[in-house]
């Protein structure tokens, strides 16, 4: 059975989302403090008109206290009413696929159809070792799970026979209530041609971040996806894309530098875990300087940090380079005081979003049509 998720969002607006890493910077924050801060932020994101609140998945250290984004989706579905709730991302290799399919269905039912399914293959060898998984198989496992998801959610019953997964004819008692399935986003995997081609062919939405680098450091990713869109017969101008950005709104130079240093900690830890040189004090990742990192002053320019006008200008500069459709705002910069997170979000809602969308409307910018189609219609 063929399907297509087609969403025509012809408003000339950038979509602003909240990205929740749930980082516990140090002992001054309890676990409950971290979660209360996230609760406050998600509720505020709904009030200021954010489209989606995203929840990360990481394990075993303070980089993130969120081991289960689907559990987060289910929890926040009970304290919100309209904002979409996304996984950023479900790290597919850490799950049994048949259980994961059902938990995705349950999360969508519990949220009354507000689930957005972001998936990825993972990148931290530290996590793979502790889940007894081989990182070398991660991309293949993720690719096969995409096959299974399309089959499971669009057919009454399905079977799958792949290289890694092999399952007999099965029915799922609980499935997503979004028909035919939730919107799918895919993170990273820019060095994986098979996944890139799959993303383009199926119309899945890529998620990217420049981290502490200038925005043009990842412009090649958009060019690559546009080329793939042409190859699979899609309009490259209709490419949706999400861009995760560290954001802090302030006119205080001292606060701006502190925000950049806190964002730098997140970037340093992520890189140390990716390249397997992280060191720990208990659960806390050490703040290890990278040989490749720019000076903090340059990071302040590269991150979206500054006054409301400066932040709006940087977002528009991002758009000029990437033509992305969504900004995933990481505003909880590693233990930054909750009141400053709230101030940033309130200013984004009251000033930054209107400035950005006024300029995009003046340019005649139009949102891409999200058109997701099947890649697999029969068992492998």
pLDDT tens for each residue of 79-137: 999 999 999 999 999 999 999 999 999 999 999 999 999 999 999 999 999 999 999 99
Residue 29 is given by DSSP the state S
pTM, two decimals, is: 0.95
As a whole number of angstroms, the distance between CA 30 and CA 181 comes to 37
Q: Could you report the per-residue pLDDT of 175-229, keeping only the tens digit for each?
A: 999 998 999 999 977 677 878 888 899 999 999 999 999 999 999 999 999 999 9
Q: Are 215 and 321 in contact (CB under 8 A)?
A: yes
Residue 145 CB burial class (10 angstroms; 0-12, 13-18, ≥19): buried
Answer whether CATH 3.50.30.30 is correct for domain 5-248+308-372: no
Element (H, E) at 206: strand 205-208
Count Cβ atoms below 10 Å from residue 130 Cβ, excluding itself.
Answer: 12
| Residue position matching structure tokens 């875990």 | 273
Q: What is the pLDDT of residues 43-87, one digit of tens each?
A: 999 999 999 999 999 999 999 999 999 999 999 999 999 999 999
């Amino acid at each position: 059975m063929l399907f297509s998720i087609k969403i025509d969002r012809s408003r000339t607006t950038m979509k602003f989302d909240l990205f929740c890493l749930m980082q516990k910077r140090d002992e001054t924050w309890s676990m409950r403090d971290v979660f209360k801060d996230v609760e406050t932020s998600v509720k505020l994101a709904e009030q200021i008109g954010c489209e989606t609140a995203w929840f990360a998945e990481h394990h075993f250290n303070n980089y993130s206290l969120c081991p289960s984004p689907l559990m987060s989706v289910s929890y926040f579905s009970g304290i919100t009413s309209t904002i979409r709730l996304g996984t950023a991302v479900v790290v597919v290799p850490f799950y049994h696929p048949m259980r994961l399919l059902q938990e995705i269905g349950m999360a969508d039912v519990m949220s009354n159809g507000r689930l957005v399914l972001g998936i990825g293959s993972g990148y931290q060898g530290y996590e793979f070792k502790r889940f007894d998984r081989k990182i070398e198989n991660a991309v293949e496992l993720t690719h096969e799970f995409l096959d299974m998801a399309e089959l499971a959610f669009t057919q009454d019953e399905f079977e799958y026979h792949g290289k890694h997964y092999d399952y007999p004819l099965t029915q799922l008692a609980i499935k997503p209530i979004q028909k035919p399935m939730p919107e799918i986003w895919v993170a990273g995997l820019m060095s994986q041609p098979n996944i890139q081609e799959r993303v383009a062919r199926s119309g899945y939405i890529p998620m990217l971040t420049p981290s502490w680098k200038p925005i043009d450091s990842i412009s090649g990713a958009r060019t690559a996806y546009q080329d793939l869109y042409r190859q699979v017969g899609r309009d490259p101008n209709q490419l949706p894309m999400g861009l995760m950005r560290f954001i802090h709104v302030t006119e205080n130079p001292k606060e701006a530098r502190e925000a950049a240093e806190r964002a730098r900690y997140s970037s340093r830890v992520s890189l140390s875990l990716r390249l397997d040189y992280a060191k720990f004090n208990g659960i806390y990742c050490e703040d290890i300087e990278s040989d490749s990192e720019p000076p903090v002053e340059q990071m302040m320019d590269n991150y979206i940090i500054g006054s409301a006008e400066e932040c709006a200008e940087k977002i528009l500069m991002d758009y000029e380079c990437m033509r992305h459709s969504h900004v995933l705002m990481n505003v909880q910069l590693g233990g930054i005081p909750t009141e400053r997170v709230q101030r940033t979000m309130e200013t984004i809602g009251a000033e930054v979003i209107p400035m950005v969308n006024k300029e995009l409307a003046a340019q005649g910018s139009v949102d891409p049509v999200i058109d997701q189609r099947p890649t697999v219609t029969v068992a492998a």
